[in-house]
């Protein structure tokens, strides 16, 4: 038999076959389009020019606030789509005429380790979003100038708690770049010792540099993101959920643009969550409790309100269901705060600054608070006492409930932190948008998609996630120099409705069981 008599060999697709190679690339592209990484790249890339518009526009205040809402809203829509992408399982398509399509897709995905690129992509875009806003002058808020001023005062060897910034004793430190941009020149600083220490250290490294302060705060949020990945792993959740935290426009605008010190406590409270996630076992290890108390104490020295999380993280049962008193946690927390304030306590110095006056200020007042204020006026009660007394009382009552009924697991203990945070945000007559930042790590843990058409599950995490977007409407105050009723309604009514639905859905199975039993 001659060579011509052999049957023709089947065509083998190889790299040298351009047609075969082209078909494979087209098929791979078709499959890649449904992979989450592709859409993260698309949505992240589309978000870059949105944040760049901040630099193009320049200052938002005074009188140029309108574009902010368009920029923030567009960024939040792109972010929401990215959140949906990372929460939704990625389908794998298969061509009707090519049964090897899924094999090709899986093979190439495996070779390139595409799934392993999600975290680098998420963190890379988070860094880019922050870097874009780094050159922008803080304009949504002027708190940053107080931070720089406090650092300058300390560098001169003077306690930041001794004088108001307009005191004649500090006249030689004043300038047009920092001092004239500060708010409340007649008030002594309110920021706790932990924050003051960072202000002093940052100022000494690069004096009077807003960019240096911003870099410190951005680094803190990225550290918080890295720790959040550790927490997600500890709780058995996909690490790419960290996008819910890192890409949130509220975080990016309030830290990379407005440069709020709140960034510093985020890695501290997430660190406390991580320790709690690893610590629940048979018996209580005092080292874990000391670690949680230390981190919460340091967070309280940055901003006072993280102390409200202590009971939630303290009251938790062991894996065998037993209560442990974990005394080391509250003792360490108290000692940490006392030691921090000890560095700044001096004769004739008020280390609480203008805290008492701050409790009487009025901004971004919710419909609920307006009802309480109306009640106060009717009964001849100072209007500010409804929140200043009512909010701590509700936090204490909630904490007592958590003490009576300890959390059954570390995850439940961590998620219970939503309660005091929620009370703080809803019962507050001076609510600024950056006060909601400590919600974001908890939202990251519990935001879910429902089984019905892959829509978001209506739980409390979803309600607060929506609020992290609508709270930007608080800035409408600077459009009219007064509060806008429509904007206030759009900001708060959705959270009221969504929290009500979440509460109903969580209680419905209980009442349904009770009804069947009766």
pLDDT value, residue 323: 75
Partners of residue 88 on adjacent β-strands:
none
Partners of residue 317 on adjacent β-strands:
323
Tokens of 335: 């000692």
Find out whether 161 and 351 touch, Cβ atoms under 8 Å: yes
Tokens of 79: 């972010």
pLDDT value, residue 61: 77
Give the span between the Cα atoms of 125 and 107, in whole angstroms.
27
SS3 sequence, 485-503?
HHHHHHHHHHHHHHHHHHH
Sign for the pseudo-dihedral over CA of 235, 443, 359, 171: positive
pLDDT in tens, the chain (518 residues): 444 444 444 444 444 555 556 555 555 544 555 678 889 999 999 999 999 999 999 888 777 888 999 999 999 999 999 999 999 875 544 443 444 445 555 555 554 555 578 899 999 999 999 999 999 999 888 999 999 999 999 999 999 999 999 999 999 999 988 999 988 889 899 999 999 999 999 999 999 999 999 999 999 999 999 999 999 999 999 999 999 999 999 999 999 999 999 999 999 999 999 999 998 776 678 899 999 999 999 999 999 999 999 999 999 887 777 777 789 999 999 999 999 999 999 888 888 888 878 888 888 888 998 998 898 889 888 888 888 898 999 999 999 999 999 999 999 999 999 999 999 999 998 899 999 999 999 999 999 998 876 789 999 999 999 999 999 999 988 887 778 889 999 999 999 999 999 999 988 777 777 666 66
Cis bond leading into 449, ω under 30°? no
pLDDT value, residue 107: 55
What lies within 8 Å, CB to CB, of 239 at 6+ separation is 119, 229, 232, 233
pLDDT value, residue 21: 60
Of 416, 455, 242, give the one whose Cα is nearest residue 313: 416
What lies within 8 Å, CB to CB, of 385 at 6+ separation is 376
Of 254, 412, 386, give the one whose Cα is nearest residue 319: 412
CB atoms near residue 226 (< 10 Å): 15
Find out whether 206 and 212 touch, Cβ atoms under 8 Å: yes
- Tokens 């409340």 correspond to 184
- Tokens 């501290």 correspond to 268
Q: What is the DSSP string of 452-517?
A: STTPBP-SHHHHHHHHHHHGGGGGGHHHHTS--HHHHHHHHHHHHHHHHHHHHHHHHHHHHHHHHH
What lies within 8 Å, CB to CB, of 99 at 6+ separation is none
Backbone phi, then psi, for 130, in 5-degree steps?
Answer: -70, -40
Find out whether 336 and 310 touch, Cβ atoms under 8 Å: no
- Tokens 């924050």 correspond to 195
Tokens of 432: 């600024």
Phi-psi region for residue 10, left (φ > 0), alpha (ψ -120 to 50) or beta?
beta
- Which whole-number Å values give the CA distances from 500 to 366, 390, 497, 508, in the listed order? 16, 20, 5, 12
Please give the model's pTM, rounded to 2 decimal places.
0.89
- Tokens 């023709």 correspond to 8
Domain boundaries defined on the chain: 13-116
């Amino acid at each position: 038999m001659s060579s011509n008599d052999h049957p023709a060999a089947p065509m083998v697709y190889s790299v040298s076959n351009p047609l075969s190679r082209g078909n494979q690339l087209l098929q791979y592209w078709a499959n890649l389009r449904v992979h989450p990484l592709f859409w993260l790249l698309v949505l992240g890339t589309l978000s870059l020019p949105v944040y760049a518009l901040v630099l193009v526009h320049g200052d938002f205040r005074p009188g140029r606030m309108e574009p902010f809402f368009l920029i923030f809203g567009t960024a939040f829509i792109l972010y929401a789509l990215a959140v949906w992408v990372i929460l939704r399982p990625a389908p794998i398509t298969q061509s009707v005429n090519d049964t090897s399509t899924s094999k090709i897709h899986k093979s190439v995905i495996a070779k390139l380790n595409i799934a392993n690129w999600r975290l680098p992509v998420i963190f890379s875009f988070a860094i880019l979003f922050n870097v874009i806003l780094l050159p922008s002058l803080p304009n949504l808020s002027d708190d940053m100038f107080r931070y720089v001023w406090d650092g300058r005062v300390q560098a001169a060897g003077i306690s930041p708690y001794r004088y108001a910034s307009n005191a004649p004793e500090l006249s030689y430190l004043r300038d047009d770049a920092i001092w004239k941009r500060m708010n409340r020149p007649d008030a002594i600083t309110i920021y706790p010792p932990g924050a003051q220490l960072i202000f002093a250290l940052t100022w000494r490294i690069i004096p009077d540099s807003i960019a240096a302060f911003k870099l410190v705060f951005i680094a803190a949020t990225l550290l918080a993101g890295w720790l959040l990945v550790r927490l997600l792993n500890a709780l058995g959740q996909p690490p790419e959920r960290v996008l819910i935290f890192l890409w949130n426009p509220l975080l990016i605008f309030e830290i990379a643009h407005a440069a709020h010190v709140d960034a510093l406590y985020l890695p501290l409270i997430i660190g406390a969550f991580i320790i709690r996630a690893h610590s629940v076992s048979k018996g209580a290890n005092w080292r874990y409790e000391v670690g949680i108390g230390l981190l919460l104490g340091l967070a309280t020295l940055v901003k006072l309100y993280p102390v409200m999380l202590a009971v939630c993280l303290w009251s938790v049962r062991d894996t065998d269901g037993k209560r442990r008193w974990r005394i080391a946690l509250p003792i360490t927390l108290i000692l940490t705060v006392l030691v921090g304030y000890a560095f700044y306590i001096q004769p004739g110095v008020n280390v609480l600054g203008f805290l008492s006056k701050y409790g009487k200020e009025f901004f971004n007042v919710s419909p609920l608070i307006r009802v309480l204020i109306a009640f106060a006026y009717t009964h001849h009660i100072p209007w500010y006492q409804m929140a200043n007394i009512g909010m701590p009382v509700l936090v204490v009552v909630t904490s007592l409930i958590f003490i009576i009924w300890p959390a059954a697991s570390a995850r439940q203990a961590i998620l219970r932190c939503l309660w005091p945070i929620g009370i703080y945000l809803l019962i507050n007559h001076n609510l600024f948008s950056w006060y909601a930042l400590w919600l974001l790590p908890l939202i990251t843990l519990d935001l879910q998609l429902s089984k019905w058409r892959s829509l978001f599950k209506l739980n409390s995490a979803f309600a607060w996630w929506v609020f992290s977007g609508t709270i930007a409407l608080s800035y409408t105050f600077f459009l009219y120099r007064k509060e806008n009723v429509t904007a206030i309604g759009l900001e708060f009514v959705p959270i009221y409705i969504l929290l009500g639905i979440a509460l109903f859905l969580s209680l419905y199975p209980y009442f349904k069981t009770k009804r069947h039993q009766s």
